[in-house]
Amino acid sequence: MKNRLLSICLLFIISINLMAQEAEELAPMTDLAKRVDMSRYLQPTSDVVALMILEHQCRMHNLMTKAAMSYRRGWYLQQAMNAEADPADENGVAWRMARSGAEDILEELLFCGETVLGGDGAEGLEAFQEVFEAGAPMSSEGRSLREFRLYKRLFRYRCSFVIYSTVFQNLPPQVRDRVLERLREVLTSEEREEKFAHLKPSECQRILAILRETLPNLPKGW
């Protein structure tokens, strides 16, 4: 009995020690030099703003890649079933794939479901923010899609700067045009769908003006 109690006590002590060690490892670190050779990096710290932008970019590129592959797969199957198939046929597999992929892209493009930045918002390295904003296509009124807000939300105008990317411009035309068609619908509609309700009319008007001046190859109707 005594041996059994002793074993239980030893296990308890070991567990406490392991928990303390894990807590120490998970605690916020202000100095990475003890674990990483910082001489290889431009900054000795992490930047939450840069990480949020990276997360958004990865999400956008994943959705664009998925939409392009799904559309091409659907078009291949449609042609296999009917060699004279029309890619613009709205009842075809390819068009349904294009429509579904475009909607996913649009929701991320307009920051649907974006996490609200609590407290005083996010703070990052000013040098990074200056360089990031400086590379943006600018409207005649001096507005751009790269302007930070960092209070409650990441950007001042919630339409992703990724829309200027080569990947977006090189999407299959059926997917890209559908995204832009839906984008125009959302920005010009007086009554937006619930998932786009976070965009107020004034913000929509400014986004629309920025895109009209800065985004190349806009479809007719813009």
> Average pLDDT in the 151-178 region?
96
Q: pLDDT band for position 35 (50/70/90)?
A: confident
CB 72 within 8 A of CB 64: no
Residue 191 structure tokens = 């009554």
State yes or no: pLDDT of 44 exceeds 90: no
d(CA 161, CA 196) in angstroms, rounded, equals 18
d(CA 108, CA 182) in angstroms, rounded, equals 13
pLDDT in tens, 53-98: 999 999 999 999 999 999 999 988 888 888 777 877 778 889 999 9
> What 3-state class would DSSP assign to 200?
coil
Give the residue with greater pLDDT, 113 vs 80. 113
> Average pLDDT in the 156-163 region?
98
d(CA 99, CA 116) in angstroms, rounded, equals 29
CA dihedral 12, 18, 20, 25 (to 10 degrees): -170
Task: Find, among 67, 63, 77, 76, the residue nearest to 97 by Cα.
Answer: 67
Furthest-apart CA atoms within the chain: distance in Å: 85
Q: At what angle do helices 48-81 and 173-188 cross, to 10 degrees?
A: 120
d(CA 208, CA 187) in angstroms, rounded, equals 7
**DSSP calls for 105-127:** HHHHHTTTTPPPB-TT-----HH
State yes or no: pLDDT of 164 exceeds 60: yes
Q: Where are the beta strands (DSSP E) in 84-174?
A: 148-151, 153-155
